Structure 1
Amino acid sequence: MRAGEGRRIQGTKVLKIGTMDPSPYRRRMRILKAMKTPEFMKSFGWEHHFLIASLGVLLAAMAGIGFWVGSQIQGGVVHQTAAYTALYVSSMVEPKLQALAEGDRLPPEDLAALSALFKDRGIGQHIVAVKVWDKTGKVVYATEAQVIGLVFPIEKKLRRALNGWVASEISAMDRPENAFDADRGRRRLETYSPVRRTGTNEIIAAVEFYQTVDSLERNIEAAQRNSWLIVGIATLVIYGLLAGFVRKASDTLRRQRDELGSQVVQLQNLLKQNAELHERVRRAAQRTAAVNERFLRRISAELHDGPAQDLGYALLRLDRLIPAEESGTEGRMEEGSDFYQVQASLRRGLQEIRAISAGVGLPELENVTLGETIARAVRAHERRTGTQVSLTVGGIPETSPPTVKMTMYRIIQEALSNAYRHADGAGQRVEVTCHQGILALVVSDRGKGFEGVLEADWDEHLGLLGMRERVESLGGDFSIVSEKGVGTEVRAQVPLDGLGEFV
């Protein structure tokens, strides 16, 4: 047997693969593909889709309202016609049916009067059949004599009439009691009207009569046509107003979208220009910082080679003027002390100038790493103050722009100086880390702390102002956190991405 041919194995049919029915998933996918939006509608805007959808909704609503109004018109016309006719017929028939209040039969003279009444052209022209029912469902009179005396089940409309209400509908005269009617199967207006005992509200019988509906149906059709016309005109007016509103709103939205697009383009250009200006300002600030460092280095060299050398030479000359110890005059000169006070002042001045020169000038940082720069700043502070500083460095890059190294050195130098000056060097700690291109520096102490210094007051603190300006010139953030009795932290964060190589 060849592969793929159909066969039966133990009552199970094996289908050929080529004729296998598609899975439900594939059938659903084909249906969804068939229901895709037509190509010509893909170019439509939202307003076109809305107008198409609203047109469908309005048409459906118009159809529903039209059918409802038509049915209401038909029901109203039928019931109104039936009510007027029932009132007229009852006024003519009721006097001739009073015998039913005393028995279940009509006397011959009443039957003859009824027959003469319905043969009259004024009534008989539109009323084609009449039946009179007693309260048990028996026909006590009919224009078709064959049904007189027959009993039929009491139906809903007959029951309503026997309860005192007028009931009517357009029917085809196809019920059992219409078996002998000449107009059986034709559309007629069927009306049931109660018959009351004279002078009371007692129901003694019900009269059923059938009217021709030709003129009635013409009136109904005319009224329905008018109602459909009114509904259609109202729908068109509503759709026209809706389309006008949607068009106006669409034009407004399109104009606002164009204006917004133009504003977005302008804003993007402004943001681009702002970014360029910000970058230029930052680079200018970095160049200024580099120039300032060169200027400070020059000042340091000038102080070291100028006033410091002159003061040193002056001290040497003063040393030569001191008399020998054996002369015995040293004690007398100490008593006068002017000479030695001048000498001591010159020595203090030389020390201050040398300290200023060493503090203003930076060591050579160009050929050292960022970690070595940080370590140099810490060691310089330890040598100058004789205190201990805990240093933690982790994850920092080996290379960095010179401006970053200069900024880190200056911030560590100033922050540690403040810690030594205001916290007596207690718990000095420097921590430097780098995460996602952000270099983070924290210099802390465990001094007495303070309640806080507002940024508006930083202009009065040149050290704080200098640290902040150095960090912000590199696009970073600078802050100080202090708590009384706990200590102070100086925090700086500097982005390493995008910094130029400024010397």
Structure 2
Amino acid sequence: MAAMISIRAADPAATRVTMSIDEQDGRNAAGISFGKAAQKPAATTGAWLPGSLSAQFLAAGGLLMLIAMLVAGYLITELVTGGAIRHKAASTALFMESLVGPAAQELSVSKKLSGAAVAKLDALLSDEQFKRRFPYLEIWTPDGVVAYSNTAQIIGQRFKQPEGLKRALGGEVAAAFTDLSAAEHVIRGIGTRYLEIYSPIRQHASGQIIAVAEIHEQTEHLHSDLASLRTSSWAVVAMVTLAIMAGLFGIVHRGSKTIETQRAALARRVFEMEEVSRHNRLLKERSQRASARVTELNEQFIRTLGADLHDGPAQLIGFSILKIDEIRKSTGPAATEKLLQPMQSALDEAMREIRSIAKGLLLPEIAELPLHEVISRAVRAHEVRTSSQVALATAEVRAPVSDAVKICVFRFVQEGLNNAYRHGGGIGQEVGNLIDGFALRVWVLDRGSNQIASSDWATKGGMGLYGLRERVESLGGSLTVEAERDAGTRIQMTLDLSGGLLLG
């Protein structure tokens, strides 16, 4: 039998395997092939599949980036709008200080403004455009008294100091939207939220804060500017977030594609290895069947040799023996010579046939017997030959096993009992068998005082045991020996009948 296996890799993504087995008669050939086109699992390299790394990143990363964008956008917008309001307040405060500061210098020596200073301030605030933008103006003394206001009814009154006033007295320019619940606003009935800007007024000579100017500014333009700033800030934050997300997603997407490609390639390799493994199992089964067939053929050959020896050389030798009696009765040399010539020819022919035929051992007829009866026949033959007793613990086997299995079991029992008789004196001999699924177990044991331990059987067990191991392993089975000095020996063979050793 010849076997050929060839593996060709045309490219890293495709592997083609071709196997063929040609049996010895040249008529039964089986070819098996598989390749990328028909057998391989479909490649799944899309990075948008559910559960893929890209999809997971897009879901989790997108949510996290959205939260980060909202937080960053809110903080940045608040910072930008706060900065814009402070800048607005600072510029307005600088403008108002330049207008109001000179008229309020007399507050450094007096708690009240003179009529001339009030008239000067009224004149400054009388412009209609100025009044539309800055409808209210108050000048506070450090103790919370309104020293001047374009609303005369609150001049000279003391009110709770606003928070902005306190900060301005500390030297800061403060800005806040109008608190409509403040007493000075309730008196005047102000219902519009202006931007209140508190600017400290300093004495020209010493720089000491002598008063605080509070200006109320209309917020229409301010709200429009703040809305524009917020929109621009959110747009910048969104674009930066999207750019970061796109960059990270590109990296993850590329890595995900690489991982998916490698995973698909690995799946193809695993699939191909499984196919190779499956075909290897098929090859093993075919090899076992072929080995079983070889064993059967060997036994048939031995049987044929025995028949040839009986029908050929044995007949010629028998003919020669008959000629011996005729030679004894011959009357002279001429007659004797005449009788010797055919006798010599027959013996020469028998010798030629004997030399051309190898002597073999004939098995009894076991082809039609079930396996447990094959075991029984081997045991009875041993008992007749050795006049010893053997205990049988056989289980009925109705499975149609091949002749190769029957021959192997017969030889195993025969050789095992020979060893039990030779090394253990035939004491406590037992033969049994068991079927466990597709596993066939047959054992021979004795309880005699052998002198060979398990570790020595490999070298001291003799050629019979060596040949028996070869016979069992040729069918894909195994042979084990358990022996202790002076404690008996157990020899067991195990065959897997699923590997083509069953008929039908």
| TM range, smaller chain | 0.5 to 0.7
Match for residue 295 of structure 1 among 290, 301, 310: 301
Tell me, yes or no, if the aligned pair for 1:371 and 1:398 is still in contact at 8 Å.
no
Residues of 2 paired with 1:139 and 1:233: CA distance? 50
Residues of 2 paired with 1:131 and 1:497: CA distance? 108
Tell me the residue number matched to 2:288. Answer: 282
Instruction: Find the residue that maps to 2:498 and give its secondary structure.
Output: coil
1:76 aligns with 2:83: yes
Instruction: Give the % identical residues.
Output: 34
1:370–1:181 distance in 2 versus 1, CA, 3 Å: same
How far does residue 281 in structure 1 lie from its aligned partner after superposition? 1.1
Tell me, yes or no, if the aligned pair for 2:100 and 2:121 is still in contact at 8 Å.
no
1:237 aligns with 2:243: yes
Tell me the residue number matched to 2:337. Answer: none
Tell me the residue number matched to 2:3. Answer: none
1:210 aligns with 2:216: yes
Tell me, yes or no, if the aligned pair for 2:372 and 2:395 is still in contact at 8 Å.
no
Deviations, residues 427-482 of structure 1 (Å, cap 9, x unaligned):
5443422122222234445556636369xx78996444433443344343444455
1:434 aligns with 2:435: yes
* Aligned partner letter, 2:372: G
Tell me the residue number matched to 1:410. Answer: 411
1:177 aligns with 2:177: no
* Aligned partner letter, 1:371: H
Match for residue 452 of structure 1 among 428, 452, 455: 455
Tell me, yes or no, if the aligned pair for 2:104 and 2:113 is still in contact at 8 Å.
no
* Aligned partner letter, 1:288: V
Residues of 2 paired with 1:193 and 1:232: CA distance? 37
1:496 aligns with 2:497: yes
1:107–1:266 distance in 2 versus 1, CA, 3 Å: closer
Structure 2 residue runs of 5 or longer lacking an equivalent are 1-47, 318-358
Residue correspondence of structure 1 range 51-130 to structure 2 within 5 A: 53=59, 57=63, 62-82=69-89, 105-106=111-112, 108=114, 112=118, 115=121, 119=125, 128-130=135-137
Tell me the residue number matched to 1:227. Answer: 233
1:215–1:467 distance in 2 versus 1, CA, 3 Å: farther
How far does residue 284 in structure 1 lie from its aligned partner after superposition? 0.6
* Aligned partner letter, 1:404: V
Match for residue 145 of structure 1 among 139, 143, 152: 152
How many residues of Structure 1 are paired with residues of Structure 2 in the alignment? 411
Residue correspondence of structure 1 range 130-169 to structure 2 within 5 A: 130-131=137-138, 139=146, 141-150=148-157, 152=159, 167-169=174-176
Residues of 1 paired with 2:114 and 2:370: CA distance? 137
Residues of 1 paired with 2:174 and 2:484: CA distance? 96
Residues of 1 paired with 2:482 and 2:362: CA distance? 29
1:130–1:498 distance in 2 versus 1, CA, 3 Å: same
1:278–1:180 distance in 2 versus 1, CA, 3 Å: same
How far does residue 406 in structure 1 lie from its aligned partner after superposition? 1.9
Residues of 2 paired with 1:137 and 1:308: CA distance? 149
How far does residue 302 in structure 1 lie from its aligned partner after superposition? 7.4
How far does residue 298 in structure 1 lie from its aligned partner after superposition? 4.9
Residues of 1 paired with 2:207 and 2:490: CA distance? 106
Question: Which region of structure 1 is more displaced relative to structure 2, 107-116 or 185-194?
Answer: 107-116
Tell me the residue number matched to 1:9. Answer: none
Instruction: Find the residue that maps to 1:430 and give its secondary structure.
Output: strand
Residue correspondence of structure 1 range 349-368 to structure 2 within 5 A: 360-368=361-369
Aligned-residue RMSD, C-alpha: 5.3
Residues of 1 paired with 2:460 and 2:177: CA distance? 101
Tell me, yes or no, if the aligned pair for 1:93 and 1:114 is still in contact at 8 Å.
no
Residues of 2 paired with 1:286 and 1:144: CA distance? 122
Deviations, residues 303-332 of structure 1 (Å, cap 9, x unaligned):
899999999xxxxxxxxxxxxxxxxxxxxx
* Aligned partner letter, 1:210: H
Residues of 1 paired with 2:112 and 2:182: CA distance? 25
How far does residue 289 in structure 1 lie from its aligned partner after superposition? 1.2
How far does residue 386 in structure 1 lie from its aligned partner after superposition? 4.8
Residues of 1 paired with 2:396 and 2:203: CA distance? 114
Tell me, yes or no, if the aligned pair for 1:134 and 1:140 is still in contact at 8 Å.
yes
1:77–1:299 distance in 2 versus 1, CA, 3 Å: same
How far does residue 120 in structure 1 lie from its aligned partner after superposition? 9.3
Structure with the largest fraction of helix? 1
Residues of 2 paired with 1:463 and 1:130: CA distance? 126
Tell me, yes or no, if the aligned pair for 1:173 and 1:188 is still in contact at 8 Å.
no
1:123–1:435 distance in 2 versus 1, CA, 3 Å: same
* Aligned partner letter, 1:66: G
Tell me, yes or no, if the aligned pair for 1:415 and 1:443 is still in contact at 8 Å.
yes
Instruction: Find the residue that maps to 1:179 and give its secondary structure.
Output: helix
Tell me, yes or no, if the aligned pair for 2:395 and 2:433 is still in contact at 8 Å.
yes
Structure 1 residue runs of 5 or longer lacking an equivalent are 1-43, 312-356
1:273–1:106 distance in 2 versus 1, CA, 3 Å: same
Tell me the residue number matched to 1:369. Answer: 370
Tell me, yes or no, if the aligned pair for 2:390 and 2:428 is still in contact at 8 Å.
yes
The two structures have a TM-score, normalised by structure 1, of 0.60
